[in-house]
C-alpha cells in the first residue's frame, strides 16, 4: 500500500517555507503523494456543527487556509515525482468550466501528477457565502463531473444540462494525464456512493471503521458492476485523520486515534481490505502548527518504517 501525507496549507504553519520543506522532504523519504484540504470559512456562529469533532466545534487551524490548488501548484515547483491531490474540493463552490482549466494547468505544470478529490460540502455558512444551494448539491455534482470530463476529453467541448451550459468551444490546455486526472470522491450516502461507482476513479473515505470501509467499498464496486463498469478499476484512497496519544487507547477507539503503534495497525488493516493508498492528515494534530513537528512525523511514518 502506498503512503501519502498532507501538505501544510492550513493553520499558522502554512507558510511558503513550510510547504517547500514538507513537499521536498516527503518526496525524498519516498511518500507517494501530497494532499491539501479545503475550508472556506470559520464562522463565528456556525449554523451547523462540524461533523468531525465530538463537540461540533471547528478546529482553530481552519481560521487560516491557503487555497488548496494554489498550494499544490507551489509544491509542484519544488518537486518532481510525488503525486499532488486534493481532499477535498467542495463541488458547490466552483464553476466546472473555470475549475477544469485550473486543474488542467496544475496537471500540465506538474507533468501529470494531479489527483482530484471532491466532496459536496456540509457547511450551510459556506454554501451561503459561495452562493450555493444545498438542496441541489447532489444533482449538480453529477452534472459538474460530466462537464469536467467533457472539457478534458473532447475538443471542441460542448455541454448543455440543467445546471451548466457550455457552447462548443476549444478550451486548453488539456491535462497531461489521459483521459483525465483521476477523480476521487468522499462519499457516505447511497446516492454519493453511486456517484463514485458511475463517475469517479475511486473512493476517498475518512473516519470510517475498517469493517465499515470494507463493506461500503464492496457496495460501491457492486454498483459499478451494475452500471457496466469494471469494479476492479475503482480504487480506495483512505484519508487518515490522525490523533496521536502518548499511550495505547482502549479497543473501541476511533480509527487512526491512538498510539503510534495503534495507528500503524490501522494502516495495516487498510491495506488488508484493499486500500491502494492511505494518506496521513496531520494538520489538526496538537502541535501541528510547528514545522519541526511536521518533519518529525514525516520521519515517524516514512514508507517502509513499520
**101 three-state secondary structure:** helix
- Please tell me the predicted confidence (pLDDT) of residue 287: 64
Domain edges within the chain: 2-300
Instruction: Answer yes or no: are the C-beta atoms of 117 and 89 closer than 8 Å.
Output: yes
Radius of gyration of the chain (CA): 19
Q: Which residue in the block uniquely carries the three cell numbers 502548527?
A: 289
Instruction: Answer yes or no: are the C-beta atoms of 201 and 114 closer than 8 Å.
Output: no
The set of cell numbers assigned to 127 is 454554501
Burial class (CB in 10 A: 0-12, 13-18, 19+), 159: buried
Angle, in degrees to the nearest 10, between helices 96-109 and 68-77 = 20
58, pLDDT greater than 90: no
User: How far, in whole angstroms, is CA 29 from its chain's centroid?
Assistant: 21
70, pLDDT greater than 80: yes
**Beta-bridge partners for 258:** 244
- Please tell me the predicted confidence (pLDDT) of residue 50: 86
Q: What is the pTM of this model?
A: 0.95
Specify the CATH class of 2-300 in words.
Answer: alpha beta
* Beta strand 277-281 pairing with 157-160: unpaired
Closest alpha carbon to 235 in 119, 117, 121, 142: 117
Give the tens place of pLDDT for each residue, 185-230: 999 999 999 999 999 999 999 999 999 999 999 999 999 999 999 9
**267 three-state secondary structure:** helix
CA distances to 50, 52, 183, 257, 281 from 242, rounded to whole Å, are 17, 12, 24, 6, 6
Q: Which residue in the block uniquely carries the three cell numbers 501544510?
A: 8
The set of cell numbers assigned to 164 is 451548466
Q: Work out the pLDDT band at 182, boundaries 50, 70, 90.
A: very high
Give the HSE-up count for residue 169: Cα atoms under 13 Å, Cβ half-sphere.
15
Section 103-125 average pLDDT: 97
Phi first, then psi: give them for residue 57, nearest 5 degrees: -85, 150
Give the tens place of pLDDT for each residue, 243-286: 999 999 999 999 999 999 999 999 999 999 999 999 999 987 76
Give pairs for 69-72: CB < 8 Å, separation 24+: 69/36, 69/102, 69/103, 69/106, 71/7, 71/9, 71/14, 71/19, 71/36, 72/7, 72/34, 72/36, 72/106, 72/110, 72/114
What span, in angstroms and rounded, lies between the C-alpha atoms of 265 and 255? 10
Amino acid at each position: 500500500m502506498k503512503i501519502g501525507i498532507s501538505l501544510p496549507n492550513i493553520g499558522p504553519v502554512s507558510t511558503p517555507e513550510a510547504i517547500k520543506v514538507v513537499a521536498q522532504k516527503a518526496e525524498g523519504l519516498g511518500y507517494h503523494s501530497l494532499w491539501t484540504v479545503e475550508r472556506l470559512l470559520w464562522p463565528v456562529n456556525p449554523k451547523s456543527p462540524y461533523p468531525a469533532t465530538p463537540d461540533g466545534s471547528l478546529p482553530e487551524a481552519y481560521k487560516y487556509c491557503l487555497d488548496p490548488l494554489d498550494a499544490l501548484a507551489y509544491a509542484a515547483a519544488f518537486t518532481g515525482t510525488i503525486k499532488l491531490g486534493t481532499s477535498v474540493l467542495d463541488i458547490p463552490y466552483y464553476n466546472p468550466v473555470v475549475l477544469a482549466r485550473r486543474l488542467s494547468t496544475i496537471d500540465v505544470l506538474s507533468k501529470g501528477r494531479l489527483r482530484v478529490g471532491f466532496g459536496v460540502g456540509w457547511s450551510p455558512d459556506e454554501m451561503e457565502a459561495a452562493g450555493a444551494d444545498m438542496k441541489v448539491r447532489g444533482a449538480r455534482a453529477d452534472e459538474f463531473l460530466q462537464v469536467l470530463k467533457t472539457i478534458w476529453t473532447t475538443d471542441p467541448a460542448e455541454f448543455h444540462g440543467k445546471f451548466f451550459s457550455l457552447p462548443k468551444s476549444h478550451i486548453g490546455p488539456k491535462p497531461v494525464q489521459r483521459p483525465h486526472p483521476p477523480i476521487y470522491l468522499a462519499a457516505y450516502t447511497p446516492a454519493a456512493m453511486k456517484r463514485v461507482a458511475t463517475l469517479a476513479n475511486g473512493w476517498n473515505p475518512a473516519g470510517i471503521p475498517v469493517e465499515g470501509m470494507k463493506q461500503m467499498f464492496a457496495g460501491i464496486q457492486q454498483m459499478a458492476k451494475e452500471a457496466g463498469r469494471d469494479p476492479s478499476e475503482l480504487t480506495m484512497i483512505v484519508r487518515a485523520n490522525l490523533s496521536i496519544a502518548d499511550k495505547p487507547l482502549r479497543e473501541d477507539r476511533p480509527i487512526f486515534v491512538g498510539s503510534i503503534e495503534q495507528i500503524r495497525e490501522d494502516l495495516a488493516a487498510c491495506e488488508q481490505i484493499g486500500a491502494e493508498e492511505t494518506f496521513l492528515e496531520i494538520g489538526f494534530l496538537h502541535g501541528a502548527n510547528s514545522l519541526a513537528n511536521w518533519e518529525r512525523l514525516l520521519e515517524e511514518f516514512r514508507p517502509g518504517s513499520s
